[in-house]
Amino acid sequence: MTAFPTLDEARALDAADPLRDRRADFTLPEGVIYLDGNSLGALPRRTAGAVADLVTRQWGEHLIASWNMHGWIDAPARLGARIATLVGAASHEVIVADSTSANIFKLAVAACRARPGRRTILSEPGNFPTDLYVASGVAATVGVELRIAAPEALVDAIDDDTAVVLLTHVHYKSGHRHDMAAITVAAQARGALTLWDLSHSAGAVAVDLNGSNADLAVGCGYKYLNGGPGAPAFLFVAERHHGLLESPLSGWMGHAAPFAFDDAYAPAPGIRRFLCGTPPIVAMAALEAGIACFDDVAMADLEAKSAALCDLFIAGVESRCAGHGFTLITPRDAGRRGSHVSVAHDQAFPICQALIAHGVVGDFRAPDVLRMGFTPLYTRFEDVWRAVEILGDVMERRAWDDPQFRVRGAVT
Amino acid sequence: MTAFPTLDEARALDAADPLRDRRADFTLPEGVIYLDGNSLGALPRRTAGAVADLVTRQWGEHLIASWNMHGWIDAPARLGARIATLVGAASHEVIVADSTSANIFKLAVAACRARPGRRTILSEPGNFPTDLYVASGVAATVGVELRIAAPEALVDAIDDDTAVVLLTHVHYKSGHRHDMAAITVAAQARGALTLWDLSHSAGAVAVDLNGSNADLAVGCGYKYLNGGPGAPAFLFVAERHHGLLESPLSGWMGHAAPFAFDDAYAPAPGIRRFLCGTPPIVAMAALEAGIACFDDVAMADLEAKSAALCDLFIAGVESRCAGHGFTLITPRDAGRRGSHVSVAHDQAFPICQALIAHGVVGDFRAPDVLRMGFTPLYTRFEDVWRAVEILGDVMERRAWDDPQFRVRGAVT
């Protein structure tokens, strides 16, 4: 157990933080410690202006001409190239399109078709639900089976019948981070492809797709990339698969010549073939502003701060909140986790509600998990210190044990 | 040939127009006659404020709590119910989701699976390209064939092997409007389903899905619905098919209980099962503002004004521009067309460019079509009159015959 610092010591950590000035790029509400950027990233200061310019000047004044005049048509590739730098990919290997769910469908179907004769998609139990839901839809679509193996049995479960291994890099609930390189090697040794969901890692910890020789990936724009609620997602296809994999969602934006209006479909040669319909430009403008918050940020600084913030929270729960029944379910080893920490508690739901009432916004995940996300760009060590202090106070006073905190609503 | 009025007569038509006050709901650039609302609708005045509120107050201040506090989670169904009133559907039969292309994929796959053993998707040549591209992807996905029949041979081409008839209600290029009721009857008589793309009719002319007993439909948010570039699309499933058809894109938002985070997929009972990923909320706010422009608008007024605007343009081309080589390709019968008029001309590209340079924004569609869209909510009779006058002037002076107007770029 690491010692939990004093408030002054936490402030000293902030003063020494190479990312300390990045918080000013965001608007964060007064009196709130926001530890849910892993679910919905905070609002970057530049976003409102970027969106207003898109709406009022580009759309309002230049109308249809903006597709070329303001580079709307290039937005999916331009934003993809920018995200590529955050996930260890080449600029032409990433594109922004659709939702994470739709992108999983596109790439998983393409992967299964690229491995004809193989009959399984392999994933893990408790993977982020949409991944499993979409995988079951893919399985029904291409006539394969979705097979589930526990994390510790995953590598051994890969066999000559595995078409694609579909895993979330960082688990949405436990925070466990898979060894992308090791699993990729194991999958490829059996002839399978890997498809990584980076929703809970891109923009929070170092991701190295090409360093891991990954095949395919998808990720979310509205969590650590700060693109706004329901922001467009991204997808990655390693260059060696370009021209070989085809999207089942063969919409006009993925056509080799979308404005020729030919009757016959001919996929674009590169990553653009994984586009489908017309991109949502207003949402793209918000995502572009969100990604710009990473300009000049070293991935190593991001990873180091994420680790330190998580370590601080774990130390706080285990010292300040000792004896209150919390069980850490996130790995202690920073290299094996993402940027959120989850603890189990049989009263996790009312505790989470009580924390929100006391200005600490984390979230609850059924059945018994309290999840706290630490966003390296805007979470301060002082915030973590205060959140621990408030959690300790809520537990000591049993402030959670109030009927108002047991009312269930939809929680995201 | 209808007589072309004087400018004063055109102004008198505007003064008598029951929709005359609606133009004030839009911001239109000075000095431009915008006749491309069929490609990208103009900016409603209320949109910038609605989007700014969404971004700055809802997202910025209330963050994750906004999913419930500001009704984000209900946006797809709320907007769907509003659009339902524009297309003759019940409120629970329409939902906003994804792109038109992705929605065609979802519904066409579902339709083919609902008609097992049938081996063809039937469409027409020159249908809006993404419809044919997606249909070919659907055909490959479910193992059927895409069959093409000319419009006049369509009904006879429907047979016992047809799973689904996929047609755009109003043709994007010619402006021809299919007889939805007659084709639906013919299809259903052979046991086939109908899937209508309403992209070029919803919000411009009267659409009566339930009056036509239509099965399935999709449509676009960024044309006549004024939702902004790449706005989310909508889809319709007739109530009698609810619970029977399933989306291949089985993402978490279509789950019966998305926040239970169960491993197993269970589709929502109603229209919500056709949702896939997290909805793009910023884009939804813009679409909601766009749809609000139809509040208190009678569909009959919309249809009547659309017909009158198109009639005026046709009369103008045939009188003011007589002898300049234009051939009308849009039906003269208002009941058989949508809200745009297309004329063929071997110099259509430079003529279109010259018109834009003279402040009249229409568009060109290869190989030889000049297309002018008339949006009943904001196009005035005076605008049509002036556009005809400018077109006549461009033709008389051969203003189009300038090398600068022959440069090709991507045109949407």
Q: Over chain A, what is the mean pLDDT?
A: 96
Answer for the pair A27, A378: CB distance below 8 angstroms, yes or no. no
- A361-391 residue pLDDT tens: 999 998 999 999 999 999 999 999 999 999 9
> If we measure between CA atoms, which residue out of B386, B410, B378 comes closest to residue B42?
B378
Q: Is A371 a catalytic residue?
A: yes
Decide: helix, strand or coil at residue A14.
Answer: helix
Top residue of A34, A173, A276, A408 to mutate, by most chain B CBs within 10 Å, is A276
Q: What ipTM score was computed for the predicted complex, to two decimals?
A: 0.96
How far apart CA B321 and CA B347 sit, in angstroms, is 14
Q: Clarify whether B128 is annotated catalytic.
A: yes
Chain A residues near residue B364 by CB distance under 8 angstroms? none
pLDDT band at A2 (very low <50, low <70, confident <90, very high): low
Residue stretches of the annotated binding site of A for pyridoxal 5'-phosphate: 100-101, 128-131, 168, 197, 200, 222, 252, 278
* Residues B191 and B159: beta-carbon distance below 8 Å: no
B47 CB neighbours in chain A (<8 A) are 55
Per-residue model confidence (pLDDT) at position A260: 84
**Gap between the Cα atoms of B53 and B60, Å rounded:** 9
Residues 344-373 of A with CB under 8 A from B: 356, 361, 363, 365-366
Question: Is B76 part of the contact surface with chain A (CB cutoff 8 Å)?
Answer: no
CA distance B289 to B226: 8
Given 1.10.760.10, 2.40.110.10, 3.40.640.10, 3.90.550.10, which CATH number is that of B71-294? Answer: 3.40.640.10
Domain map of chain A by residue range? 7-43+297-406, 71-294
Is residue B267 within 8 A of residue A211, CB to CB? The reply is: no
Nearest CA in chain B to A127: B263
Predicted pLDDT at B411: 43
Distance CA(B309)–CA(B315), nearest Å, equals: 10
**Shortest CA gap A199–chain B (Å):** 12
What is the pLDDT confidence band of residue A411, given thresholds at 50, 70 and 90?
Answer: very low
Residue B410, both tokens: 């991507």
pLDDT beneath 50: ranges in chain B: 410-412
Torsion, CA A385, CA B57, CA B97, CA B238, rounded to 10: 120
Helix (H, G, I), strand (E, B), or coil: what is residue B194? strand
From residue B78, alpha-carbon distances to A262, A281, A349, B196, B203 in Å are 36, 22, 29, 22, 17
How many contacts (CB atoms, under 8 Å) link A and B?
A: 288
Catalytic, A34? Answer no
Residue A137 and residue B47: Cβ atoms within 8 Å?
Answer: no
Cβ B258–A61 below 8 Å, yes or no? no
User: Considering only residues 231 to 260 of chain B, which have any Cβ-Cβ distance to chain A shorter than 8 Å?
Assistant: 231-233, 247-255, 258-260
What does chain A come to in residues? 412
The highest-level CATH class for domain A7-43+297-406 is: alpha beta
pLDDT of residue B412: 42
Q: Which of A197, A215, A363, A383 is catalytic?
A: A197
Say yes or no for a CB contact (<8 Å) between A105 and B68: no
- What does the pLDDT average to over A206-217? 98
**DSSP letters spanning B67-109:** HHHT-GGGHHHHHHHHHHTTTT--GGGEEE-S-HHHHHHHHHH
Q: Which amino acid is at A354?
A: A
CATH fold for domain B7-43+298-406: Aspartate Aminotransferase, domain 1 (3.90.1150)
Q: If you ran DSSP here, which 8-state letter would residue A53 be given?
A: I
Strand partners of residue B86 = none
A67–B contact, CB cutoff 8 A: yes
Can you count the helices (H) and strands (E) in chain B? Answer: 12, 15
Best of B276, B352, B356, B411 to disrupt the A interface (most A CBs within 10 Å) is B276
Query: Position B388: which residue type?
Result: V
Cis peptide before B116 (omega within 30 of 0): no
Q: What string of H, E and C letters represents the secondary structure of B10-63?
A: HHHHHHCCCCHHHHHHEECCCCCEECCCCCCCCEECCHHHHHHHHHHHHHHHHH
User: Å from B370 to nearest chain A CA?
Assistant: 15
Cα nearest neighbour of B250 on chain A = A134
Check residue B127 and give its pLDDT: 86
Do A7-43+297-406 and A71-294 share a fold?
A: no
**Could you tell me which residues are beta bridge partners of residue B219?**
B234
Residue A410, pLDDT above cutoff 50: no
pLDDT at A1 over 70: no
